[in-house]
Amino acid sequence: MTFTEYLTRNYDNLLELGLEHLNLVLISMGIALVVGLPLGIVAHRNKLLRNPILSTAGFFLTLPSLALFAIFIPVFGIGAPPAVAALSLYALLPIVSNTATGLASVSPAVVKASQGMGMTGYQRLLRVELPLAWPVILTGIRVSTQVVVGIAAIAALVGGPGLGTEIFRGLRSQGNASAPNLVYGGTLGVIVLALLLDAAFVLIRRLTISRGIR
Amino acid sequence: MTTTDTLTQADPARSGAKPMIELVGLTKRFPGTAEAAVDGLTLTVDEGEITVLVGPSGCGKTTSMELINRLIEPTSGRILIDGKDMTHTNPDELRRHIGYVIQETGLLPHRTIAQNVGTVPKLLGWDKARIAARVDELLEMVGMDPATYRGRYPKELSGGQRQRVGVARALAADPPVMLMDEPFGAIDPITRERLQNEFLRLQQQVRKTIIFVTHDIDEALKMGDRIAVLRNQSHIAQYDTPENLLTSPADDYVSDFIGTGASLKRLNLSRVRDIEMATDAPTASVSAPVAEVRAALLASSWTSLLLLDAAGRPARWVTSRDLARADQGAVLAEVGLPVEAIVEPHATLADALDELIASNVGCTVVVDGSGAYQGIVDLETIMTVVRTVRDEYERFHLAQKLAQQPADGQAR
Amino acid sequence: MADTALATRATGASDRAVPRRGGSRLSWFGMPVLLAVILGATYLWVGSLELDTIERRTLNAEQLTRSTLEHLHMTAVSTAIVIVLAIPLGVLLSRPFARPVVPAVLGVANIGQGVPSFGLITIVILWTSLGFWPMIIGLVACSMLPILRNTMVGLEQVDRTAVKASRGMGMSPLQVLLRVELPLAFPVMIAGIRTALIINVGTATLGTFFGQGGLGFIVYNGITLNRTPVLITGVVLVSALALLVDYLAGALGRLLAPRGL
Ligand SMILES: Nc1ncnc2c1ncn2[C@@H]1O[C@H](COP(=O)(O)OP(=O)(O)OP(=O)(O)O)[C@@H](O)[C@H]1O
Ligand SMILES: [Mg+2]
């Protein structure tokens, strides 16, 4: 069976796995954002907590992916949950560190001017600091997403969903004539997904970054 | 301060003005520093006036300013605005009613010019239509066409235009009080001059109470109704009108700060209309017979005569030699020299001197609004003013030496 | 053009991802102490358990040592190779004659982040055979990009005036490269090497799926046999190894960094 035949026959299977993969990535990124953005803000505002927060986020990115997936198995069992937990932790550092860096790069003059106009701390954060830091934050989210898309393939090894299962299937049926197709299909699927997400980020950039700071 | 009823009528004379900003013993000591950045600043600013804080870099000007809108919380002392103690109000609320133009402009780069100018009105909850109308009005006021600039972003403006937007933004909610920290600091001298003039014109309309910070004494003399010369820690060396500052500086620090050329600077404070210009210059109509013109010239002590056109506007300077050429058939309106140096009465003596030096005849013609001849300013007139200043200055120093102790209690 | 800008910016962020970790006393001594505590605690915990025969088959000194050595072997060889390959290549790509291909390389490097290492190694194995060297090729392929990219970016951000001044003093291009550009690019390059090292430690965990053992063997045994003590031991050992390697690389980079940077 050639690769093209494999693709035409397994089109919907791959699509389904791709959607699973995307779902895994989106959920993990969602969690990472909900946790990471506030942590980044705290790291920016509080000098004492800055280093502990960044080191902890960096710590997770240093751990081997298989180890991070595995450690959640005793807690969540096999399947998607340990994968989501591990991927969220992986995604954390670029988000946290870019949020802190982005906020720190906002011109002090602009911050002072908004303060001088009587914005409260909350208004300043929401209307001035975050919008100005947004390009840097968005870059962090994008880097996280790329990292997570690739690593999510390993979720299959802990019984998780996604395109990694196709690669794993190919690996286990090694020697079998269809094995390479499965591996190519899964790997290519991940790459295509990564490219699509990257394109989405280009679009989000366009749409969400004010012309004044582009 | 006591009899408010007399103050309700707007009284242009300083004596009757009502104090708008009162700083009492204002002190700020930053944590971990040995000296206070601002030490016991006491200052009263009258309503509708521009008070300039001037002093060397690091003397505490910005800190003093930010104590007033409580961007910096004072260590001790009190701030009264319009008689009300502001030391314990909500600082965010306070700042919405004090316009602040910061040293570095600080426009929000991700917002359009209109959104920038409309920031405070939006914070105050104005409706959209009102904000839009106000924004256009203000852009117009600072000399920027709203249709062109409203939708632009700060990076799409020149430095001078950004400064204007900064001023417009501070004026947005019509705050009675404005703080301006070197608002024209980082721009070239020509643009700065223009912005200063435009701002003074604007101030004629809006009559805000303004504290204006600069480290440039010339800007201070130009902009200020009153000037506080500061030394380190915002200690006031002298708080006075520009005229008094120039004619009687309180001590060596102040006179050093004013620098050499105080007399020349004085020329910036005097207007042509305030001095006695020469009105005895011989004049004649361009259409008059040559003989009549010569008679007028001979009757005067001048060597040149000013020809005026039918509307009384200066046309040409002629000497007796030019008149001789007219005798030989030249047209009167084409002999002699064109009149180049012309000023209006509101021009400063410095302007008049400038014109004079550049001109071909050594005097400046003063005309009224419609261009009709009024009089002449020559070097002699200007010298008289300079001499008066110098004499007053020397007399003051002599008095100081004699008394050993300055009469002004503020100085050391 | 736009792609290059995005790629460089993304690089900046991801480089920060691994190596940034303050410069305080805590960062010199914190990590070794933390590792000692975790390893000690795990040892005590596992020691206190009644291990069944299945567990004992994996959790014995011999097996643990062998897995650790296998893991270190894979990591060391792949990292050495990737350094030897990627740094000269990065230097070549940063020379003026390579300028036209740089955007393309940076673009690929950017996309490369999305390539799943698991899939990549499997493909390499499929094309060759199971074995140590195919595994190493896979590891090198996975960790090539960060070193390459950081070498290029590091050299690119060297102050042009410093280079010009050195040429002006009569240094040859090679002398400028060795004495000015490489020392100035060193911190960024070392960050790339450190990233590659971490990737290799992590990816070597997959070695067990390709018959190469390593600490992944312990972890995966723990998962498939459903034995938590085995799983935890594997996770702790491999994580401690990664953190230690990262710590040592960071410390070495700081010691070797040219003064004044
Ligand atoms: N946040 C701070 N912490 C400690 N010291 C400060 C702080 N802000 C200002 N200072 C010190 O207070 C003094 C006054 O500073 P300030 O900014 O008011 O000077 P300035 O008169 O506005 O100077 P310039 O003309 O340069 O703007 C300076 O010596 C400065 O170093
Ligand atoms: Mg200042």
- Residue C1 is predicted with a pLDDT of 26
Q: What is the DSSP letter of B17?
A: P
Spell out where B15-88 has E strands.
19-28, 38-46, 50-54, 76-81, 84-85
pLDDT at C7 over 60: no
| CATH number for the domain that contains residue B82 | 3.40.50.300
- Residue B394 is predicted with a pLDDT of 66
Within a domain: B94: yes
Architecture of domain C39-256: Orthogonal Bundle (1.10)
Q: Worst-scoring range by mean pLDDT, A85-94, A130-139, B379-388?
A: B379-388
The answer on B79 and B161 residing in a single domain is: yes
The answer on B89 and B34 residing in a single domain is: yes
- Residue C8 is predicted with a pLDDT of 29
Residues 6+ apart with CB under 8 A from A193: A18, A21, A22, A25, A149, A163, C114
Which residue's C-alpha comes closest to atom 26 of ligand 1?
B57
CA distances (Å), origin B31, targets B28, B35, B41, B72: 9, 10, 19, 12
Decide if A114 and B106 are in contact by the 8 Å CB cutoff: yes
The answer on B139 and B158 residing in a single domain is: yes
- Residue B4 is predicted with a pLDDT of 37
- Residue C26 is predicted with a pLDDT of 60
- Residue B263 is predicted with a pLDDT of 66
pLDDT in tens, B215-259: 888 889 889 999 999 999 999 999 999 888 888 889 999 988 887
Within a domain: B96: yes
| CATH number for the domain that contains residue A95 | 1.10.3720.10
- Residue B88 is predicted with a pLDDT of 85
Decide if B96 and A118 are in contact by the 8 Å CB cutoff: yes
Between A and C, how many CB-CB pairs are < 8 A? Answer: 170
The answer on B237 and B209 residing in a single domain is: yes
CA distances (Å), origin B106, targets B67, B110, B140, B183, C84: 18, 12, 21, 11, 49
Chain B touched by A207 (CB under 8 Å): no
pLDDT band for A164, please (50, 70, 90 cuts): very high
**Can you give the residue ranges of every domain in chain C?**
39-256
The answer on B289 and B249 residing in a single domain is: no
Name the residue facing C219 among A66, A147, A167 (closest C-beta): A66
| Rounded mean pLDDT, A49-60 | 91
* ipTM score: 0.85
The answer on B367 and B261 residing in a single domain is: no
If you compute the radius of gyration of chain C from its CA atoms, what whole number of angstroms results? 21
Amino acid at B38: V
pLDDT in tens, B4-62: 333 333 334 445 578 999 999 999 999 988 889 999 999 999 999 999 999 999 999 99
Q: By C-alpha distance, which of B255, B225, B297 is closest to B400?
A: B255
- Average pLDDT of chain A is 92
Atom of ligand 1 nearest to the CA of B37: 12
| Rounded mean pLDDT, B115-134 | 94
Q: Identify the domain containing residue B356 by its residue range.
A: 274-383
Decide if A174 and C228 are in contact by the 8 Å CB cutoff: no
Going by their DSSP bridges, the two strands B76-81 and B19-28 should be labelled as: antiparallel
The answer on B301 and B255 residing in a single domain is: no
Q: Identify the domain containing residue A92 by its residue range.
A: 3-213
> Which chain C residue's Cα is nearest to A135?
C9
pLDDT band for B192, please (50, 70, 90 cuts): confident
| Rounded mean pLDDT, A55-70 | 91
Q: What is the DSSP string of B156-225?
A: GS-HHHHHHHHHHHHHTT--SEEEEESTTTTS-HHHHHHHHHHHHHHHHHH--EEEEEES-HHHHHHH-S
- Residue B411 is predicted with a pLDDT of 38
**What's the pTM value of the predicted model, to 2 decimals?**
0.77
How many domains, in total, are found in chain A?
Answer: 1
Distance, in angstroms, between B251 CA and closest chain A CA?
35
- Residue B398 is predicted with a pLDDT of 63
Identify which of B41, B62, B73 to mutate to test ligand 1's pocket (most ligand atoms within 8 A of the CB).
B62
Tokens representing C260 are 């004044």
pLDDT at B2 over 60: no
pLDDT in tens, C38-96: 999 999 999 898 888 888 888 888 999 999 999 999 999 999 999 999 999 999 998 88
pLDDT in tens, B102-115: 888 889 999 999 99
| CATH number for the domain that contains residue B379 | 3.10.580.10
- Residue B277 is predicted with a pLDDT of 82
CA distance B334 to B342: 19
CA distance C242 to C239: 5
| Rounded mean pLDDT, B309-334 | 86
Environment of ion ligand 2 (residues, CB < 5 A): B 62
Contact B284, B309 (CB under 8 A): no
Between A and B, how many CB-CB pairs are < 8 A? Answer: 75
3-state class of B49 per DSSP?
coil
pLDDT in tens, C175-233: 889 888 998 898 889 989 999 999 999 999 999 999 899 999 999 999 999 899 999 99
Q: By C-alpha distance, which of C57, C79, C214, C51 is closest to C136?
A: C79
Among A62, A137, A139, most C C-beta atoms within 10 A, so best to mutate, is A62
How many domains, in total, are found in chain B?
Answer: 2
pLDDT in tens, A80-118: 999 999 999 999 999 999 999 999 999 999 999 999 999
> Which chain A residue's Cα is nearest to B69?
A116
